[in-house]
């Protein structure tokens, strides 16, 4: 399972890998690397995906410039490296007003 302190340590060590897809979508959405790194270090893990492959991943929630931000990241414990999968601004269609709880379908 991904732990907050592991993500923070990876950021501190500059052990962060950005997928081309994540960077392209971040650019389209107006989300900076700085914002994503802020959420990795200061955000809250709201969903854990321990069975994801090749590495366990998590959905993090944070606030950047007064806007809710979600970051999906995987962590390789052997290399102590974090992989950025996605970043987006959550919406009220899919999440409750706290932007942490998924709406039931």
The candidate with the shortest Cα–Cα distance to 86, out of 13, 14, 35, is 35
Confidence at residue 11, expressed as pLDDT on a 0 to 100 scale: 95
* pTM higher than the cut 0.85: yes
**pLDDT mean over 95-101:** 95
58: pLDDT strictly greater than 80: yes
**pLDDT mean over 40-59:** 96
Q: Write the CB contacts of 104 (distance below 8 Å, at least 6 apart in sequence).
A: none
Q: What is the mean pLDDT of the chain?
A: 96
Confidence at residue 104, expressed as pLDDT on a 0 to 100 scale: 86
38: pLDDT strictly greater than 90: yes
């Amino acid at each position: 399972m991904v732990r907050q302190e592991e993500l923070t340590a990876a950021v501190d060590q500059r052990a962060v890998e950005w997928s081309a897809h994540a960077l392209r979508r971040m650019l389209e959405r107006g989300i900076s690397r700085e914002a994503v790194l802020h959420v990795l270090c200061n955000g809250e893990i709201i969903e854990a995906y321990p069975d994801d492959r090749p590495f366990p991943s998590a959905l993090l929630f944070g606030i950047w410039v007064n806007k809710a931000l979600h970051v999906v990241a995987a962590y390789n414990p052997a290399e102590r490296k974090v992989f950025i999968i996605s970043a987006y601004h959550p919406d009220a269609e899919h999440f409750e007003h706290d932007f942490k709880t998924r709406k039931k379908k």
